[in-house]
Structure 1
Amino acid sequence: MKDWYKGWFDSPYYDLLYYDRDENEAREFVAVMAHLLKIDRSHKILDIPCGNGRHCQALLETGAEITGIDLSFRNINQAKSQSFNSIDYYIHDMRNPFRINYFDFVFNLFTSFGYFDSIKENIKAAKNISLNVKNGGILVFDYFNVDHSVYQLKPEEILYRGNIQFTILRKRYGNSMHKDIQVNDGKNEYKFQERVKIYSVQEIQQIFHPFNLELQNVFGNYSLGKFEQLESERMICIFKKQL
């Protein structure tokens, strides 16, 4: 399923499936991260990709200047409808340059990387994410922890959101995790897919190192608990751009 992310992220079923990833979760994570990084109103922040803007809305509470970019037309329209022009949103592909050496903090959250089939395209995305970070700035990179995910993997799961049924099939294919999603709304069936590359902390570090980003710390959950290779659900990597 080529360019799976275009159809899936533009679908209303994406938000419905992940309804538990809501504004409260975003606000709690942003609060602890803002405290750790000492974010204030003097800073410029980019959320890439920003989805429907839930983290941008939470980041707005820091007083900083917030920008969100996303490939999905639907996501950007939804985000704009909630921001009252207090946040700058743009439709933009993360593989292309945006604002070079401009932002104090760049956030890449909720496994929003590794979408592309070729190594070249994923490296291109990493390069252009990095270019947005100013010298001395910070990249917050949040990815699923493959060691925990494979250990806890549910090959098949059926979930209900109201009257809508989601049948989810999960499998590892080489260096990628695949999730086939079938949606039944009682009248029609729709098929979607998620595919992301598998990376360890060391591999993520190697990807961003050529772009002058040095790993400072790794956390294992949204409360910024210690990263444990087999037990942590997340790999939240804090990079600093070297001068």
Structure 2
Amino acid sequence: MPSAPPTEWFSTWFDSPYYHRLYRERNHEEARAFLGQLLRHVRPRPGARLLDLACGKGRHALYLSEQGYDVTGVDLSAESIRYARQFAHEHLHFYEHDMREPLPTGSFDLVLNLFTSFGYFEQETDNVVALRNAAAALRPGGKLIIDFMNTRLTLRELVAHETKQIDHTTFQLYRHFQNGFIVKEIRFRDDEQQEQYFEERVRALSREQFEEYFQIAGLRLMTIWGDYQLRPFEPESSPRMIFVLKK
């Protein structure tokens, strides 16, 4: 009998309550300020259809809907979508969805893929598939925004080991570069004092690799910002690569 395919790291980690415990201190005010900046620059028309691709627990999709847009959020994590649906209403919908599959609804004026929610797949071709699906969900002339780490700077400043104490959980975080991926190993004891191990793997994509993907997917690169204040991208010093693409 053929062996079962290996479990992808994100299919278990994102559904774990410890994922949300580890990252609960993320700066949501900074994220909302960033989204506000984006909307002022991209200027979707009133009532435009927006897609939050890899929406997590829906906080950012909720903010976008509060600005008067019709918003759909999709995410692979069943637990995150279950949580997000408490916010749903006539102009805010959430679906469990793998971005490697064609998107169930369209067409959108703006697709957002934010906070390094790309490059998780073991097969590099899946990145192109995901981008093609995002492009297919856009109306002609619609825009896609991809917010990714500046890989060059991230690798240069990679912290090999870090300890985080959150409530009664001590997380040991180990980071390294392996086979084209930036890997974060996450070790801790759960609430029953059992040893737990998870990992995150994000492909160390360069600007040049992204541009190849965009060309294959039929997307035109309009600009690249380098941080959440939307300053121009500087390869050696910018913390982010925020790509603005047009169909």
Same fold (TM over 0.5): yes
Q: CA deviation at 1:127?
A: 1.4
1:92 maps to amino acid: H
Match of 2:200 among 177, 194, 197: 194
Q: Which aligned runs of 4 or more in structure 1 are off by greater than 6 angstroms?
A: none
Paired residues of 1:163 and 1:185 also in contact (CA < 8 A):
no
Question: What's the % identity of the aligned pairs?
Answer: 35
Q: What is the 5 A alignment of 1:5-44?
A: 5-44=10-49
Task: Describe the superposition over 1:8-52 as per-residue Cα deviations: whole angstroms up to 9, x where unpaired.
Answer: 100111122222324322211110000001124331000111111
**Partners of 1:52 and 1:3 in 2: CA distance:** 20
Task: Describe the superposition over 1:121-145 as per-residue Cα deviations: whole angstroms up to 9, x where unpaired.
Answer: 2221121122111110000001111
1:161 aligns with 166
Q: CA deviation at 1:224?
A: 0.9
Paired residues of 1:181 and 1:191 also in contact (CA < 8 A):
yes
1:206 maps to amino acid: E
2:103 aligns with 98
Q: What is the 5 A alignment of 1:112-191?
A: 112-185=117-190, 187-191=193-197
1:68 aligns with 73
Task: Describe the superposition over 1:191-224 as per-residue Cα deviations: whole angstroms up to 9, x where unpaired.
Answer: 1110111111121111021222111111111111
Q: CA deviation at 1:84?
A: 5.0
Q: What is the 5 A alignment of 1:49-68?
A: 49-68=54-73
Paired residues of 1:109 and 1:141 also in contact (CA < 8 A):
yes
1:34 alignment partner, SS class: helix
Task: Describe the superposition over 1:66-91 as per-residue Cα deviations: whole angstroms up to 9, x where unpaired.
Answer: 00011111000111123456510011
**Partners of 1:124 and 1:22 in 2: CA distance:** 31
2:31 alignment partner, SS class: helix
**1:204 paired to 2:179:** no
Gap regions ≥5 residues in structure 1? none
Q: Please tell me the root mean square deviation across aligned C-alpha atoms, in Å.
A: 1.6
2:243 maps to amino acid: C
Task: Describe the superposition over 1:143-180 as per-residue Cα deviations: whole angstroms up to 9, x where unpaired.
Answer: 11111111111011101112211101100013111111
Q: Structure 1's 122 and 174: CA in aligned 2 closer, same or farther, altered over 3 A?
A: same
**Partners of 2:215 and 2:154 in 1: CA distance:** 25
**Partners of 2:104 and 2:222 in 1: CA distance:** 23
**Partners of 2:129 and 2:188 in 1: CA distance:** 32
Paired residues of 2:111 and 2:143 also in contact (CA < 8 A):
yes
Q: TM-score, normalised by structure 1?
A: 0.93
2:243 aligns with 237
Match of 1:46 among 46, 51, 58: 51
Paired residues of 1:165 and 1:185 also in contact (CA < 8 A):
no
2:205 alignment partner, SS class: coil
**1:223 paired to 2:229:** yes
The number of residues matched between the two structures is 241
